[in-house]
Amino acid sequence: MIVPSPATVRQAGGLVALEGVALVGMAVAEVVLYFRGSGSIAGFNGLGTALWFAVMGSAVLAAAWALWTGRRWGRGLAVFAQLLLLPVAYYMAVGSGQWSLGIPVAVVAAATLVLLFSRSALEWLSYDPASADNSGPETR
């Protein structure tokens, strides 16, 4: 049984979807640059990097869809993605000096984690449809 997700989970799903779209967009950009002969954005093998971005973007988009439609398995993927993004944002800001990129990534990842660990999200996650069924005999 799919329990409708609360607004906080759908909002987190929207943020996760934006991250997935960004990853897929990076994959497309890598492929275009590869075929133009311009090199890679990341400085590595263009097609391999594009494949990595496409696979990760697809997984993140699947998590976003799951959160939006009330499937609880998407939360684990989304939390994992945010926990991976936080050190990436730190490296972007502090390690590479690209504060204008690192700060927004960190803010989005932190906001998504706050939404996914909100009270309503945790209640939704812990809801057990079997315990809501009152048709059985009284066991007290």
- Could you read off the pLDDT of 6-42 as tens digits, one per residue? 999 999 999 999 999 999 999 999 898 888 887 666 6
* DSSP code at position 70: T
* DSSP code at position 96: S
Q: Rounded to the nearest 5 degrees, what angle is found at the Cα of 53, between the Cα atoms of 107 and 6? A: 45
Distance (Å, whole) CA 98 – CA 123: 38
Distance (Å, whole) CA 7 – CA 42: 36
Residues (pLDDT < 50) of the chain are: none
User: So what's the pLDDT on residue 138?
Assistant: 60
Two tokens, residue 110: 């932190």
Nearest alpha-carbon partner for 86 in 107, 114, 55, 58: 107
